[in-house]
Amino acid sequence: MSGSALRPSTFVAAVCLAVCGCATGVVTPGPSSWTPTPGPAVSRTEPPGVARIRPDAPIQRASFERPAPDVPTGPVAPQPIAPVGVDDFVRLAVERNPRLARANLAIEAARGRQLQAGLYPNPEVAINWDEIGDRSSPDRLGILTAPKVSQTIVTGRKLTLAQAVAAREVDQAALELLSERYAVVGSVRTAFYETLALQQRADILAELVKIADEAVANGKTLLDAQRIAKLDFIQLEVERERFRAELQSVKRELPGSYRRLAAVAGNHATIPAAVSGAFDGLPDYDPDAVREAVLTFHPQVRSARVGVERAQAAVKRAQADPIPNVSVYAGYIRQFENRSHDGAVGVSMPVPVWNRNQGNIRAAQAELGMAIQSVGQTENELAARVAIAYQTYAAARERAEMYRKELIPRAEETYKLSLAAFKGGQFEYLRVIAAQRAVAEARLELNKSLGEAWRAAAELSGLLLEESWPFQQRGPVMVPPPTPSPK
């Protein structure tokens, strides 16, 4: 698997530069102090049905980068551009979201721990003055040892093994950055299409209120001409007030939805006045291909597999710990009682009789078993997330297609026939209004279904690490224009 081919000096640098190189206030990690032996290249083949899923390749940010602005010739007040499209909000999130800056700094912290794990122990310098005031010494100065230098020699490749553990932590931190990036991107897309659906619902309800106003005006004319009863006219007014109440409710929800979108994007102060987008080109997803791609390429799975390698390295480090380190020392001795100049050298080492690091070895082996189980747990959790998201996506998409192709055309045809029959004196006016209401409710349900489908598709795009999205265009799935009121 790819976890065995991850190298901190290449993988981390590529991920950091590509993912968070454009983030404001983000520290880009420097070169690694540990250069591992290059391993064999691992080729990956993307599963069929899922396009442009290459998380192991450097991330292309060109589609989200703005061209460099022209240098102004004079003092010009800054004019911030509020994001309006889904790509604008994604770009804002990638550049400014604190989650990505924090994950990037976590890589730097892991690289610092990797550097520290390989550093050799410092030498010790001591001065010993013994037998001060000894009467056998003419000047009672005793014995002076200065300097006495000692050094611990690390054995058993402990430093190399410790660095191997820390290197896996660096890889996991880099994968966590990648996971955070696409989690943020998926959340931004989900929040955007939730806001867009609510905004379009407000537009639909506003048109329905206009139609209801016209229906009430026509009903008043018919009431004055005694062609409908007073009770029928009251029902028309009730229908209009119902649409007005729904419109006011949606209008009260919209500001909160705009604020939530700005907060998810990482800049709660950049609140859009409106968003711009359409429900065209809902992407096609194959459930088996999506599941295979997520379980193969998702950073959480790859991080869990790297965690197994880290636990294996930790076991080796714990097993090497009983190998005793050797301490050597040398010193200069000045003996004042006999006025001699001497030297001293020595070697010492602990004897692993009772403490052979048994407890730490046992704990490391247990943690290795936990890491192995974490791989399966992570795969199951991701598979469940894919299943739930795809279930919502497929059901909402099928429902939207049914409304667009079947229910709305039939409701509109029923309305037209009812209107024609009413004009010919065959139908009551309320039957025409009932047919018109069916068209309105079908259009609102289509808007709701499209919003659910796009939100679920946005979550799938984050799980699939899709950078350019949506990448597959289909036929238009727009909400039909409002049905005119009967005259």
Domain ranges of the chain: 2-39+55-62+81-119+156-321+357-463, 121-153+322-356
Most confident of 88-92, 136-140, 336-340, 384-388: 384-388
Spatial CB neighbours of 325, under 8 Å, sequence gap ≥ 6: 152, 153, 154, 155, 158, 349, 350
- Span 205-256, pLDDT tens digits: 999 999 889 888 988 888 888 888 888 889 889 989 999 999 999 999 999 9
Q: What pTM value is reported for the model?
A: 0.74
If we measure between CA atoms, which residue out of 190, 189, 209, 187 comes closest to residue 444?
209
Question: What average pLDDT score do residues 142-171 get?
Answer: 93
Residue 76 zone, left/alpha/beta (φ > 0; ψ -120 to 50; rest): beta
d(CA 59, CA 62): 9
- Per-residue pLDDT for 450 more than 50? yes
CATH 3.90.1300.10 applies to domain 2-39+55-62+81-119+156-321+357-463:
no
pLDDT value at position 378? 97
d(CA 14, CA 364): 31
Task: Please give the share of the chain, as a percent, with pLDDT higher than 70.
Answer: 78
- Per-residue pLDDT for 37 more than 60? no
Contacts of residues 421-430 at CB distance under 8 Å and 24 or more positions apart, as own/partner, are 422/486, 428/228, 428/232, 429/218, 429/219, 429/222, 429/227, 429/228, 429/232, 429/486, 430/228, 430/232, 430/235, 430/236
Q: Are strands 340-348 and 326-335 parallel, antiparallel or unpaired?
A: antiparallel
pLDDT value at position 427? 64
- Span 408-447, pLDDT tens digits: 999 999 988 888 887 777 667 778 888 888 998 899 999 9
**DSSP string over 292-317:** HHHHHH-HHHHHHHHHHHHHHHHHHH
- Span 95-126, pLDDT tens digits: 989 999 999 999 999 999 999 999 999 999 99
pLDDT value at position 435? 87
d(CA 196, CA 198): 5
User: Are 162 and 118 in contact, with CB atoms under 8 Å apart?
Assistant: yes
- Cα 24 from chain centre: 17
Question: What average pLDDT score do residues 80-109 get?
Answer: 87
What's the mean per-residue pLDDT of the chain?
81
Phi, psi of 145 (to 5 degrees): -110, 110
Provide the pLDDT confidence category of residue 280 given band limits of 50, 70 and 90: confident
d(CA 17, CA 132): 63
pLDDT value at position 358? 96
Among 39-48, 69-78, 197-206, 231-240, which stretch is predicted with the lowest mean pLDDT?
Answer: 39-48
Spatial CB neighbours of 452, under 8 Å, sequence gap ≥ 6: 197, 392, 396
Rg (CA), the chain: 36
pLDDT value at position 228? 81
Structure tokens at 351: 């004897």
Provide the pLDDT confidence category of residue 32 given band limits of 50, 70 and 90: very low
pLDDT value at position 29? 36
Among 134-143, 151-160, 394-403, which stretch is predicted with the lowest mean pLDDT?
Answer: 134-143
d(CA 119, CA 136): 46
- Cα 416 from chain centre: 49
pLDDT value at position 476? 36
- Span 127-138, pLDDT tens digits: 888 777 666 666
